[in-house]
Amino acid sequence: MIAKEKIEELLSSYLTDKQDVFLVEVKTTPDNRIKVFLDSLTSLSIEECMNTSRWLESQLDREVEDFELQVSSAGIGNPFKVEKQYQKAIGKQVEVAVKDGRKLHGKLTAYGDNTLTLEVAKKVVVKGKKKKQEVQELEEIPTSEINTTKEVITF
């Protein structure tokens, strides 16, 4: 079996030359199926995935161990795995599943120092108004309290 750590080590050396492309996750199975998920701070092209796949394949020896290799984008709608995905999503709409069972929707305004800051819309009673008014509030969530965070596509 090809070790996940070996693939991660190979890719980290390859991706150091790539300014905005980064590794999100590597999955391996006992029957040598390797899945590599990449992302980019700008946009990840199919050509970049193909080039990475070809390079990685050239670093592995099929004569020693046969394998199946897939290199793809981490994909929209999948939970964030690495810090760079949070940085990329600043200013965008996200859904945060918190360990206490809440699901918060809002704009990610900051990420760092083990805290995620989310701008959420809340309905509150405003003095002198009959109906609740929607206001934007910042909510800071410690990263230790987050189960998952996903980018939300709005139309």
Per residue in 69-92, pLDDT (tens digit) is: 999 999 888 999 999 999 999 999
Q: Which tokens in the block code for residue 2?
A: 């090809």
Q: Look at residue 11 and tell me if it is in a domain.
A: yes
Same domain, 87 and 64: no
Q: Look at residue 48 and tell me if it is in a domain.
A: yes
pLDDT at 132: 83
pTM of the model: 0.86
Same domain, 68 and 105: no
Q: Which residues contact 13 (CB under 8 A, 6 or more apart)?
A: none
The count of structural domains within the chain is 2
The arithmetic mean of pLDDT across residues 93-120, rounded, is 95
Q: How far is CA 76 from CA 29, 37, 55, 138, 143, in A?
A: 24, 12, 25, 24, 20
Determine the structural domain holding residue 31 and report its residue range. Answer: 4-73
Q: Is the pLDDT of residue 133 over 90?
A: no
Q: Look at residue 78 and tell me if it is in a domain.
A: no
